[in-house]
Amino acid sequence: MDIRLAEGSLVVLVGPPASGKSTWAAEQFRPHQVVSSDAMRALVGEGEHDQRAGKDAFDVLDLVVERRLRRRQTTVVDSLGTDARRRRGWVAAAERAGVPAVAVVFDVDASVCRARNRERDRPVPAKVLSSMLAAWPEVRDGLAADGFAAVHPPGPVTVVAPDLVNAPAAAARQKEEPMSLEFGLQLPRFGWPGGPVETSDRLSEVAAAAEEAGFTSLWVMDHMMQIPSVGPHWEDMLESYTTLSFLAGRTASARLGAMVTGVTYRNIAHLGKIVATLDVLSGGRAVCGIGAAWFGREHAAYGWRFPPVAERYALLEDALELLPLMWGKGAPAYSGRTIEVAEAVCYPRPLQERVPILVGGSGEKRTLRLVARHADMCNLFGDADAVRHKLEVLSDHCAAEGRDPANITVTHLGTADAPTVGDHIGRYRQLAEVGVQEAIVSFPEPATPEAVSAFAAVITAFRPTVQ
- Give CA–CA dist 76/152, Å, rounded: 14
User: Contact 255/329 with Cβ under 8 angstroms?
Assistant: no
Tell me, which fold does domain 3-160 have in CATH? Rossmann fold (3.40.50)
- Give CA–CA dist 364/252, Å, rounded: 36
* pLDDT single digits (tens) 65-81: 999 999 999 999 999 99
> Does position 467 have pLDDT exceeding 50, yes or no?
no
Average pLDDT, the chain: 96
| Number of residues that make up the chain | 467
Average pLDDT score over residue span 158-181:
96
> Does position 466 have pLDDT exceeding 50, yes or no?
no
* pLDDT single digits (tens) 234-286: 999 999 999 999 999 999 999 999 999 999 999 999 999 999 999 999 999 99
Average pLDDT score over residue span 379-399:
97
- Sequence spans of domains, the chain: 3-160, 168-466
Average pLDDT score over residue span 170-199:
97
Q: What is the structure's pLDDT at 301?
A: 97
User: Contact 397/368 with Cβ under 8 angstroms?
Assistant: yes
Is 105 buried (19+), middle (13-18) or exposed (0-12) by CB count in 10 A? Answer: buried
User: Contact 415/441 with Cβ under 8 angstroms?
Assistant: yes
* pLDDT single digits (tens) 334-370: 999 999 999 999 999 999 999 999 999 999 999 999 9
Measure CA 55 to chain center.
40
> Does position 465 have pLDDT exceeding 70, yes or no?
no
- Give CA–CA dist 169/423, Å, rounded: 10
Q: What is the structure's pLDDT at 464?
A: 73
The domain covering 168-466 belongs, at the CATH homologous superfamily level, to Luciferase-like domain (3.20.20.30)
* pLDDT single digits (tens) 402-431: 999 999 999 999 999 998 999 999 999 999
> Does position 139 have pLDDT exceeding 50, yes or no?
yes
* pLDDT single digits (tens) 207-229: 999 999 999 999 999 999 999 99
